[in-house]
Amino acid sequence: MLRYLVRRLLLLVPILFGVSLLIFFWIHELPGGPAESLLGERATPQLVQVYRHRYGLDKPIYVQYWSYLKTTATGDFGVSIASRRRVIYEIGQKFPATVELALAAMLFAISIGVPLGFLAAKWHGGIFDNISLVASLIGISIPIFFLAIVLKYIFAVRLGWLPSVGEISITLDVNHPTNFYILDAIIQGQWSVLWDVLKHLILPAIALGSIPLAIITRITRAAVLDVQNEDYVRTARAKGLPPQTVDRRHVLRNALLPVTTVIGLQTGLLLSGAVLTETVFAYPGMGSWLRDAIFNRDYPVLQGGILFLAVVFVLVNLVVDLTYAIINPRIRYS
């Protein structure tokens, strides 16, 4: 296990180098530039040249990349051209919101998707199974932004049950030492603030978790159908074990391996920034932050933010690989 972990961590180096190379040259090939985007109508050739010289954009491309690589290797992602703040500081401000949203969406998807897929497989061919298949197909097909708008209209506009935008009510003046609003509210014992944050989280989490919910349901159903016909399952039933024990120990536990893979991939994708969901709900996370950086041609933010999310995605998948041995002790890493 330790050798496997070390080997996977060492593989991060060439992966991140390749990602940084692609990100850097792709961003610099985009039309326009940060100076033109920030100056707008005030952009004159002289001002554009001043901006390009200030941020080193007038140097040869390979010189810019080497400078970017040296600073990134030390953990410094540079300074945002738009806000003049360090990129690593802005990541610390934006990433916690995305983490809370992604975890809430995955909790919604897992808590409904796994039982739904399991019951659909147990009642294979029945009405419940057919309904779950149709519902999961609709969940995969419906665009997230459309579902988000429908949820806002029903629960925020028509019924008035939940807020439609933001991460917390603007009337609340509270401290956020960790920037994890839920954690901060629990630590400080501010239960009214906790409830307000959770209300702001419900609609975006449902919208964002709709596609993972549909995928997890279908994968769980397929995995349970495969496992429940295996020899060891029939042997366990022949020994007279209670059906609940057979389902829990032998069917569901072995069916969780492909489900865990899907959960890990979906979690990594959600942590990479839910641009559409955060845009519709005006949620201040990584997705909306990177969207603004694209419009502003903010190269340091785009380079640092995307590279950071690539690291997160790789680490999430590493954690998923390591959990295989916990779920199924027969799996060992050499």
Q: What is the pLDDT of residues 237-269, one digit of tens each?
A: 777 777 777 777 777 777 777 888 888 888 888
Determine the 3-state secondary structure of 83 from DSSP: coil
Closest Cα partner for 305 from 92, 111, 157? 92
Q: Where are the domains of the chain?
A: 2-73, 93-327
pLDDT recorded at residue 37: 62
pLDDT recorded at residue 260: 82
Could you tell me the CA-to-CA distances from 201 to 187, 278, 332 in Å, in that order? 19, 11, 39
Task: Specify the residue for token string 């995955």.
Answer: 106
pLDDT recorded at residue 237: 76
Q: Each residue of 87-123: pLDDT tens digit?
A: 888 988 889 988 999 999 999 999 998 889 888 888 8
Which residues of the chain, if any, have pLDDT below 50? none
Give the tokens for residue 305.
Answer: 């933010």
Domain topology for 93-327: MetI-like fold (1.10.3720)
pLDDT recorded at residue 35: 65
DSSP 8-29: HHHHHHHHHHHHHHHHHHHHHT
What CA–CA distance (Å, rounded) separates 306 from 72? 12
pLDDT, the chain, mean:
81
- This prediction has a pTM of 0.81
Phi then psi for 300, rounded to 5 degrees? -60, -40
The alpha carbon of 307 is separated from its chain's Cα centroid by a whole number of angstroms, namely: 14
Runs of H (alpha helix) within 142-246: 144-151, 181-187, 191-227, 231-238, 243-245
What CA–CA distance (Å, rounded) separates 311 from 290? 16
DSSP state of 309: H
